[in-house]
Amino acid sequence: QSALTQPASVSGSPGQSITISCTGTSTDVGGYNYVSWYQKHPGKAPKLVIYDVSNRPSGVSNRFSGSKSGNTASLTISGLQGEDEADYYCSSYTGSSTLVFGGGTKVTVL
Protein backbone atom coordinates (compact mmCIF):
# COMPACT_ATOMS: atom_id res chain seq x y z
CA GLN A 1 0.00 0.00 0.00
CA SER A 2 2.39 2.70 -1.16
CA ALA A 3 1.07 6.22 -0.83
CA LEU A 4 -0.09 7.94 -3.98
CA THR A 5 2.34 10.56 -5.28
CA GLN A 6 1.42 14.23 -5.01
CA PRO A 7 3.61 17.32 -5.38
CA ALA A 8 4.63 18.66 -1.99
CA SER A 9 3.49 22.17 -2.79
CA VAL A 10 1.66 24.22 -5.39
CA SER A 11 1.13 27.95 -5.36
CA GLY A 12 -0.82 30.51 -7.30
CA SER A 13 -2.05 34.08 -7.18
CA PRO A 14 -5.64 35.01 -6.36
CA GLY A 15 -7.86 34.43 -9.36
CA GLN A 16 -5.50 32.00 -11.05
CA SER A 17 -6.07 28.30 -11.59
CA ILE A 18 -3.88 25.58 -10.16
CA THR A 19 -3.80 21.83 -10.70
CA ILE A 20 -2.65 19.18 -8.25
CA SER A 21 -1.68 15.78 -9.59
CA CYS A 22 -2.08 12.42 -7.87
CA THR A 23 -0.20 9.52 -9.42
CA GLY A 24 -0.79 5.90 -8.58
CA THR A 25 -0.76 2.63 -10.46
CA SER A 26 -3.10 0.48 -12.50
CA THR A 27 -4.17 -1.28 -9.31
CA ASP A 28 -5.48 1.86 -7.64
CA VAL A 29 -6.00 5.19 -9.45
CA GLY A 30 -5.89 3.65 -12.90
CA GLY A 31 -8.06 0.69 -12.07
CA TYR A 32 -11.07 2.31 -10.43
CA ASN A 33 -13.07 5.52 -10.62
CA TYR A 34 -12.94 5.85 -6.85
CA VAL A 35 -10.57 8.78 -6.49
CA SER A 36 -11.48 11.42 -3.92
CA TRP A 37 -9.94 14.70 -2.87
CA TYR A 38 -9.96 16.21 0.62
CA GLN A 39 -9.13 19.70 1.78
CA LYS A 40 -7.57 20.05 5.21
CA HIS A 41 -6.89 23.24 7.09
CA PRO A 42 -4.50 23.03 10.07
CA GLY A 43 -6.26 21.90 13.20
CA LYS A 44 -9.47 21.16 11.34
CA ALA A 45 -11.14 17.99 10.13
CA PRO A 46 -10.68 17.04 6.47
CA LYS A 47 -13.40 18.15 4.06
CA LEU A 48 -14.45 16.16 0.99
CA VAL A 49 -14.28 18.31 -2.15
CA ILE A 50 -14.36 15.72 -4.97
CA TYR A 51 -15.46 12.07 -5.05
CA ASP A 52 -15.58 9.39 -7.72
CA VAL A 53 -12.97 11.28 -9.77
CA SER A 54 -15.06 14.27 -10.77
CA ASN A 55 -18.17 14.61 -8.61
CA ARG A 56 -18.65 17.54 -6.26
CA PRO A 57 -20.53 17.10 -2.98
CA SER A 58 -23.39 19.44 -2.32
CA GLY A 59 -22.15 22.74 -0.98
CA VAL A 60 -18.66 22.55 -2.46
CA SER A 61 -17.75 25.44 -4.75
CA ASN A 62 -17.80 24.74 -8.49
CA ARG A 63 -14.30 26.19 -8.58
CA PHE A 64 -13.17 22.70 -7.61
CA SER A 65 -13.05 20.08 -10.36
CA GLY A 66 -11.50 16.65 -10.77
CA SER A 67 -10.37 14.45 -13.61
CA LYS A 68 -8.34 11.35 -14.35
CA SER A 69 -6.14 10.09 -17.14
CA GLY A 70 -4.56 6.69 -16.85
CA ASN A 71 -2.87 6.31 -13.48
CA THR A 72 -2.97 10.03 -12.67
CA ALA A 73 -5.85 11.97 -11.18
CA SER A 74 -5.95 15.75 -10.95
CA LEU A 75 -7.69 18.38 -8.86
CA THR A 76 -8.08 21.83 -10.37
CA ILE A 77 -8.96 24.89 -8.33
CA SER A 78 -10.01 27.80 -10.50
CA GLY A 79 -10.37 31.42 -9.39
CA LEU A 80 -8.01 30.77 -6.50
CA GLN A 81 -9.04 32.43 -3.24
CA GLY A 82 -7.29 32.95 0.06
CA GLU A 83 -9.58 30.45 1.78
CA ASP A 84 -8.29 27.76 -0.58
CA GLU A 85 -4.92 27.83 1.15
CA ALA A 86 -4.77 24.40 2.79
CA ASP A 87 -3.39 20.90 2.42
CA TYR A 88 -5.04 18.70 -0.19
CA TYR A 89 -5.05 14.91 -0.18
CA CYS A 90 -6.14 12.49 -2.85
CA SER A 91 -7.30 8.97 -2.04
CA SER A 92 -8.06 5.90 -4.09
CA TYR A 93 -9.54 2.48 -3.59
CA THR A 94 -6.83 -0.12 -4.18
CA GLY A 95 -8.78 -3.17 -5.21
CA SER A 96 -7.55 -5.16 -2.22
CA SER A 97 -10.27 -3.80 0.05
CA THR A 98 -8.11 -0.98 1.28
CA LEU A 99 -7.84 2.74 0.69
CA VAL A 100 -4.66 4.68 0.09
CA PHE A 101 -4.04 8.42 0.46
CA GLY A 102 -1.55 10.62 -1.30
CA GLY A 103 1.21 12.31 0.65
CA GLY A 104 -0.59 15.65 0.52
CA THR A 105 -0.02 18.94 -1.29
CA LYS A 106 0.27 22.28 0.42
CA VAL A 107 -1.49 24.97 -1.58
CA THR A 108 -0.24 28.50 -1.04
CA VAL A 109 -2.09 31.57 -2.26
CA LEU A 110 0.52 34.20 -3.06
Partner 1 sequence: EVQLVESGGGLVQPGGSLRLSCAASGFNFNIYGMSWVRQAPGKGLEWVSVISESGDDTFYANSVLGRFTLSRDNSKNTLYLQINSLRAEDTAIYYCAKKGLSSSWLWVYDYWGQGTLVTVSS
Chain residues binding partner 1 by CB under 8 A are 1, 3, 32-34, 36, 38, 40, 44-48, 51-52, 55, 57, 87, 89, 91, 93, 97-104
In the complex, least distance from residue 73 CB atom to partner 1, rounded to whole angstroms: 13
In the complex, least distance from residue 52 CB atom to partner 1, rounded to whole angstroms: 5
105 to 35, 37, 63: CA distances (angstroms) = 16, 11, 18
**Of 55, 56, 38, residue with least CA distance to 47:** 38
Look at residue 50 and give its three-state secondary structure.
strand
Helix (H) or strand (E) holding 94: none
Q: Which is nearer to partner 1, 1 or 13 (CB)?
A: 1
Q: Which is nearer to partner 1, 79 or 99 (CB)?
A: 99
